[in-house]
Amino acid sequence: MNVLKTHDLDVLRISVLNSRIATNLKTMRSYRNVKAGFSGEGKVTKYLKEALLTPKITIYRNIILDNTQIDVIVVTPKLICILEVKNMVGEFYFDARTKQFFRIIDGNKEGMKNPELQLQRAVKTLQTKLHRKEIDMPVCGLIILASRAGIVIEYPTLFQAIPIDAMCDALEQLESSSHKLLTNKDLKKVDHIFKREVFEVHDEELLDRLGIERTEVIPGVRCIACSSVGMKRIYSTWVCGNCGCKDKEAHMATLQEYQLLFGREIKSQGVKWWLGIDDKYLVKRILIQVTEESFGNTRNRHYKLKFEPWLLDQFLASEMKKY
């Protein structure tokens, strides 16, 4: 089984923001929701290893097609299936009349985005793209409940909503009933559809949605060992005042965090602020190291940072262990 995914930018972005502001209930709620979704997709990927599907199975995670975010896509020569993953607890209700979705948890009724409508849009979007590529394969969809503490009381009408334990059997049945077969050429076309989509590094509306001002975000170089922010530059090395860790390249990952919150373009003053340094010669050396391209005149030069999200893998792993 081949698992392909974009770096999980939503969870990275909200994790970075949550770690760099004072306590904010709205941000914390968003942080926990995004982490739950990320965890649910991870569970699904592990379970899929047990599915008895046609060889050449490829799993795509966190794909965006025409601004439609898709959790998981399973592709085999006989099957293309989108999985809308919900890692939530409570009693779930899909209202067929109003098209609303809500859950009841601890006696409280809570309205939420309707996963059935999200899945319907994703299926239509992908089906349209396949038709344009002259690929004759229907797209199916399943709503997967990744938490065993989530129970459906009122079921959706367009797609099945099933517990994660039943997912492999459902996929096997869908594949066995398929009368279509994708050629190797078709599979390459499908792969190209997913890989050519451009994802946005920066969510311009994130701070506004959460009611956070730029000035509330705490700058500083993050220690990769203990995740604290505020490493100091001593000679040619960053030193953590919290755990004593020394790291010559700590600024590299920290500038990835900047891009997630504020975008890929930065000026020298922005580097000074974000890294907490005043030495213009050090800033110049760092920009040479981390810049993909630059533009503008000398006084108003902008730099486009290299985007290397894998530098935040260790930070993300530590965040997943929290709470």
Q: pLDDT per residue over 78-95, tens digit each?
A: 999 999 999 999 999 999
Give the pLDDT band of residue 2 (cuts 50, 70, 90): low
Q: pLDDT per residue over 155-177, tens digit each?
A: 999 999 999 999 999 999 999 99
Rounded to whole angstroms, the Cα distance separating 209 from 190 reads 34
Rounded to whole angstroms, the Cα distance separating 76 from 54 reads 6
Spatial contact of 315 and 15, defined as CB atoms under 8 Å apart = yes
Which residue ranges does the chain devote to CATH 1.10.10? 219-320
The pLDDT of residue 223 is: 96
The pLDDT of residue 196 is: 66
Q: pLDDT per residue over 54-66, tens digit each?
A: 888 999 988 888 8
Give the pLDDT band of residue 1 (cuts 50, 70, 90): low
Spatial contact of 68 and 124, defined as CB atoms under 8 Å apart = no
Question: Structure tokens of 69?
Answer: 């975010």
Spatial contact of 60 and 126, defined as CB atoms under 8 Å apart = no
Least confident segment among 80-89, 126-135, 196-205: 196-205
**According to CATH, what is the number of the domain 219-320?**
1.10.10
Question: Structure tokens of 102?
Answer: 């809500």
Largest CA distance in the chain: 67
Rounded to whole angstroms, the Cα distance separating 218 from 87 reads 31
- Tokens 């209930």: give the residue: 25
Q: Is the pLDDT of residue 323 over 90?
A: no
